[in-house]
Amino acid sequence: AAKGGGRNRFSYFTPTLQVAALNRMRLTNDLRGALKGGQLALYFQPIVHLRTGRIHKAEALIRWTHPQRGMVSPLEFIPLAESSGLIMEIGSWVLRESVQWVRRWRREHHPEFQVSVNQSPLEFQRDDGSYQAWLGELQALDLPGQSVVVEITEGLLLDANSAVSNKLLQLRDAGIQVALDDFGTGYSSLSYLKKFDIDYLKIDRSFTRNLAPDSSDMALSDAIIVMAHKLGLRVIAEGVETAEQRDLLAAAGCDYGQGYLFARPMPAEQFDALLKAQAAQAAQAAQAVQAAP
Ligand code: C2E
Ligand code: MG
Ligand code: MG
Ligand code: MG
């Protein structure tokens, strides 16, 4: 920095930093009340089976409507929840809420429906007994097998210690499947894929975004899909926004797609209506086949 810039820097940046820190403190405080105040909601985004176009799963995505600020992105408040310890409470709420809905959807619309929930690295790595408590809660919920998928990021598996692999085993024991979220954005060590029992790879939307025939992202997506299938994993592409992306992914053998092309994340009641309409349509189609001469 230029000589003499010091004064300027202080008079300009310090208040800004203070404002940012104050802002974070206020927001963390508000978040504490948000859980109890009913300001948090769970949205659901369809995950579509590419070959049939049917919705088989949904990802649960948390939303916070702040009384003054309106919608606050999880990208902003999840880190605050992590640093303040609120993340465990939020995680329990997400789990209970998701389980309630997936039970209903299995009963009413789709017997094999799955809901996936996100777990941030700090949440997954908690070692103070709170994760054990979370697992206990999970077991007490007595889930139907494979109705819940936990999404973790690959960074977790890189420096995996026995605590991480124990937790993964405990998840499996509780009938939970595991997805690797944002796959391809972390470090490219693939050896953990054979070490851990993973069910799904979610190709990050940074690959989907630039998909075009003969593009390098197409080559990478192709390779990820082939590799995943050889290892017995299924593949979900994130961020599918165009029909061309969907078609390229389907042609490459990708199993599922998720993205604005199909639907944006929506409130649970709206998702419920969507599933209901899909089930009614399927029943009608089956009836038409039966009625045909
Ligand atoms: P994620 O798990 O990778 O979730 C996918 C994000 O991509 C969501 O953002 C979703 O709304 C967005 N998305 C879906 N389709 C498209 C598309 O076609 N185009 C584009 N541009 N974006 C798309 P959202 O809901 O803002 O969530 C952001 C992140 O916050 C999530 O990324 C996840 O890491 C975290 N998150 C959300 N809910 C929870 C939660 O309950 N617990 C934890 N720990 N983290 C959560
Ligand atoms: Mg996710
Ligand atoms: Mg993701
Ligand atoms: Mg992400």
The pLDDT, as a whole number, for residue 2 is 42
What percentage of the chain carries pLDDT values higher than 70? 94
Nearest residue by C-alpha to atom 11 in ligand 1: 265
What was the ipTM of the complex prediction? 0.98
Which of 63, 88, 118 is the best mutation target for the ligand 1 pocket, counting ligand atoms within 8 Å of the beta carbon and taking the most?
A: 118
The pLDDT, as a whole number, for residue 291 is 84
Instruction: Give 194's pLDDT tier (boundaries 50, 70, 90).
Output: confident
Instruction: Give 189's pLDDT tier (boundaries 50, 70, 90).
Output: low
3-state secondary structure of 228: helix
Residue 18, pLDDT > 50, answer yes
By the 8 A CB rule, do 236 and 258 touch?
yes
The pLDDT, as a whole number, for residue 5 is 46
pLDDT tens digits, one per residue of 222-240: 999 999 999 999 999 999 9
Which residues have C-beta atoms less than 6 Å from ligand 1?
Answer: 45, 61-62, 73-75, 78, 94, 118-120, 123, 151, 181-182, 205, 239-241, 258-260, 265
pLDDT tens digits, one per residue of 163-180: 888 889 888 888 899 999
| Calpha distance 109→207 (Å, rounded) | 32
What separation, in Å, do the N-terminal and C-terminal C-alpha atoms of the chain show?
A: 83
CA distances from 126 to 130, 163, 219 (A): 7, 10, 37
Mean pLDDT computed over 109-122: 94
| Calpha distance 95→93 (Å, rounded) | 5
Whole-model pTM: value is: 0.92
The pLDDT, as a whole number, for residue 20 is 86
By the 8 A CB rule, do 177 and 150 touch?
yes
CA distances from 42 to 58, 62, 180, 184, 268 (A): 11, 5, 21, 27, 7
CA distances from 217 to 154, 207, 253 (A): 19, 5, 15
Which range has the worst mean pLDDT, 188-197, 214-223, 284-293? Answer: 188-197
3-state secondary structure of 58: strand
Residue 78, pLDDT > 70, answer yes
Ligand 1 center to 62 CA (angstroms) = 8
